[in-house]
Amino acid sequence: MRELLFVAITTALKAGDAIMKIYERDFTVEEKADNSPLTEADRVSHKIIVTHLHDFPVLSEEGKEIPYEERKNWEKLWIVDPLDGTKEFIKRNGEFTVNIAFVEKGVPVLGVVYAPAIGVLYYGGQGFGAFKVENGDFSFLEDITSSEVFWRELSKVAVSLPVIDDRKEIVVVASRSHRNPETEEFIRQIEKKYGKVKTISQGSSLKLTAVAEGKADVYPRIAPTMEWDTAAGQAVVEAAGGKVVEYETGNLLRYNKENLLNPYFVAFRKGFFV
């Protein structure tokens, strides 16, 4: 687990560094077949990630055409989103991430979510715990080749998740762009049970990490997402003691399915389940 996390974190940092070089200058935006945006940063990050994650197959948003007949035999794989929140990247609001998850038999067992524009790194895994590093200049980590030295240096600045606070209100985190009637009804049901609810908005996988760290109690996603949008964030939430479950059934989200579209889901922080 530690070695896989070492590889995932260092790869995410390298990809994030390349993304920021593009973010800080002018860049062009293309439109994919599904009308979603694509930038040079998506491609560059994808190339860096697949170059470094070479021990297991990689399922990436920018390489999603791999047929299920091939994928179904992958018991272990990486699921990555080289640039989660391309719209946020284009808006230059900083709320975009690099997502890297390692999946075994459909279960995300470790995840890394790195938001390079705001200098925040989240990581976690089964039996390892979940952690956050913020306000970080991670350049000193990128050149460390010894995992022992790497973990020693990272442990000096990492904070274990969830972070406990004494707030009284229930906090729901929701998407900036997918606040539909079903989501509003879910929030109303929470209000009926707990009283006044505070709602916050975040972009990309930062909604899931808000749940992992305890800033939010619940994240309902009653709108489409793909596996690479959620695998890394789910791994961090679960490593922090939370859950990410299907909205209809309550089952944990599974990965490397024939259809890479996720069912609607709800993420809960540790100790808060509806």
Which residue ranges make up the annotated binding site? 61, 81, 83-86, 229
Return binding residues for Mg(2+).
Answer: 61, 81, 83-84, 229
Return binding residues for substrate.
Answer: 61, 83-86, 229
Amino acid at 47: K
Query: Do you know the residue count of the chain?
Result: 274
**DSSP H or E segment with residue 78:** strand 76-84
Which residue from 243, 248, 242 is spatially nearest to 263, judged by alpha carbons? 248
Strand pairing of 76-84 and 58-60? parallel
CB 82 within 8 Å of CB 226? no
Which residue from 167, 172, 218 is spatially nearest to 199, judged by alpha carbons? 172
Phi, psi of 164 (to 5 degrees): -85, 130
Q: How far apart are CA 150 and CA 135, in angstroms?
A: 18
Measured at the CA of 144, the angle between CA 48 and CA 230, to 5 degrees, comes to: 45
Cα 3 to Cα 15, 36, 147, 177, 261: the distances in Å are 18, 34, 7, 36, 30
Q: Which residues pair with 170 in a beta bridge?
A: 197
Q: How far apart are CA 101 and CA 150, in angstroms?
A: 19
